[in-house]
């Protein structure tokens, strides 16, 4: 008992010393920060939790955070408004399913200013449904596409699946620590969205996960530091896999589309580090790079306060996508039985 008592004293002194040293070095216990997009009960929250995808768009009207607090309309089944009324458009139209992240969602702009709304007005022969959601990776976009195909669409299945891609999606696809530390849930807990990593050259799927704090982590700088280093340097240090995993995820899109007799195409909406080259090199599906203004004319094309494309850039994207659709995508689509 004496030896045990001495051991406990030594352990307590050692832990106390480690805690003191950690705090003297400038480290602090974990501070809980709630994601402003997931905060419950406020009109700026456009999302609700989803056990598979992590989150989906909340039906109703939400207000964007930023210089221009634009109202954003969301319909059921994760859809952003792409026309005045959510009822299926009249007439014999070709169904087009759109998936992607916040650029597809058109975060920060009014419904009628989004590039999807503009494209729907431009092509009365197409029936666009926009399933884009802020913060989504390509992995989440594919899961949403599969869900929408099976559960939203009736007998009139989509003939074209259009994916929007931004450079940030590559890190999201592997849930790298840079992304994990950028988001949290409605209780301030860190989360890891559904993603893939490579194991033996093959994709390994990881479902949505809430990363629980360690006991006493909110009170101990030392525990916070150890947990932080474990998450950043080991568990979610996946940046090196971002490009190869993203290429394989895009292959999954192409396979899914082929199985469902859909055409598949990708539009690159933002590419700050210009990394889309190695992602899309040699890809056989149609893809169009509409990025560039985020690098050369950022201040005039993005919303102050949330850094998303503004009305002007959405107009540019609509023109770029329409030119590409007319030249490379729609002629082939109209030929399909």
Q: Under 8 Å CB-to-CB from 87, ≥6 apart: which residues?
A: none
- Kindly report the three-state secondary structure assignment for every residue of the chain: CHHHHHHHHHHHHHHHHHHHHHHHCCCCCCCCCCCCCCCCCCCCCCEEEECCCEEEECCEEEECCCCCCCEEEECCCCCECCCCCCCCCCCCCEEEEEECCHHHHCCCCCHHHCHHHHHHHHCCCEEEEECCCCCCCHHHHHHHHHHHHHHCCCCCCCCEEEEEEECHHHHHHCCCHHHHCCCCCCCCCEEECCEEEEECCEEEEECCEEECCCCCCCCCHHHHHHHHHHHHHHHCCCHHHHHHHHHHHHHHHHHHHHHCCCEEEEEEEECCCCCHHHHHCCCCCCEEECCCHHHHCHHHHECCCCCCECHHHHHHHHHHHHHHHHHHHHHHHHHCC
* Predicted pLDDT of residue 19: 64
With CA atoms as reference, report the closest residue to 30 among 193, 209, 188, 179: 188
* Torsion sign across C-alpha atoms 283, 164, 135, 154: negative
Asked if 62 contacts 102 with a C-beta cutoff of 8 angstroms, the reply is: no
The contacts of residue 29 (CB under 8 Å, 6+ apart) are: 217, 218, 219, 220, 221, 223, 224
Give the per-residue pLDDT at 7: 47
Sign of dihedral through CA atoms 52, 142, 275, 288? negative
pLDDT of residue 5: 53
Class for the domain spanning 47-175+242-335: alpha beta
Across the chain, which has 337 residues, the per-10-residue mean pLDDT values are 54 56 78 85 93 97 92 97 90 94 97 98 96 98 98 96 98 97 92 97 96 91 90 96 98 98 97 96 96 96 93 98 95 76
Which residues, including other chains, have CB under 8 Å from residue 38's CB and lie 6 or more apart? 45, 47, 49, 55, 184, 185, 186
User: Roughly how many angstroms between the first and final C-alpha of the chain, as a whole number?
Assistant: 83
Give the separation between CA 41 and CA 12, rounded to whole angstroms. Answer: 43
């Amino acid at each position: 008992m004496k030896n045990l008592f001495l051991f406990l004293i030594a352990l307590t002194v050692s832990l106390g010393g480690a805690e003191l040293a950690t705090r003297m070095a400038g480290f602090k216990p974990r501070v809980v920060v709630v994601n402003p997009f997931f905060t419950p009960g406020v009109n700026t929250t456009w999302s609700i939790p989803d056990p598979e995808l992590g989150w989906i768009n909340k039906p109703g009207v939400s207000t964007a955070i930023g210089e221009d607090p634009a109202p954003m309309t969301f319909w059921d089944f994760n859809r952003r408004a792409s026309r005045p009324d959510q009822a299926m458009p009249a007439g014999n139209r070709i169904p087009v399913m759109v998936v992607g992240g916040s650029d597809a969602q058109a975060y920060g702009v009014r419904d009628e200013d989004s590039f999807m709304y503009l494209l729907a007005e431009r092509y009365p022969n197409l029936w666009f449904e926009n399933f884009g959601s802020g913060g989504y990776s390509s992995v989440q976009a594919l899961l949403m596409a599969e869900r929408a195909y099976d559960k939203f669409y009736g007998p009139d299945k989509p003939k074209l699946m259009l994916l929007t891609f931004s450079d940030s999606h590559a890190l999201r696809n592997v849930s790298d620590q840079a992304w994990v530390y950028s988001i949290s849930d409605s209780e301030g807990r860190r989360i890891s969205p559904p993603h893939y990593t490579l194991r033996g050259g093959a994709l390994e799927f990881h479902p949505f996960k809430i990363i629980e704090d360690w006991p006493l982590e909110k009170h101990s700088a030392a525990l916070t530091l150890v947990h932080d280093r474990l998450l950043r340097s080991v568990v979610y240090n996946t940046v090196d896999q971002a490009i190869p995993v993203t290429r394989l995820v895009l292959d999954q899109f192409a396979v899914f589309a082929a199985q469902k007799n859909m055409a598949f195409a990708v539009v690159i909406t933002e590419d700050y580090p210009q990394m889309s080259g190695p992602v899309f090199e040699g890809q056989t599906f149609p893809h169009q790079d509409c990025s560039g203004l985020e690098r050369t004319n950022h201040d005039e094309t993005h919303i102050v306060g949330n850094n998303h494309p503004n009305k002007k850039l959405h107009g540019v994207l609509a023109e770029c996508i329409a030119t590409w659709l007319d030249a490379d995508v729609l002629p082939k689509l109209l030929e399909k039985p």
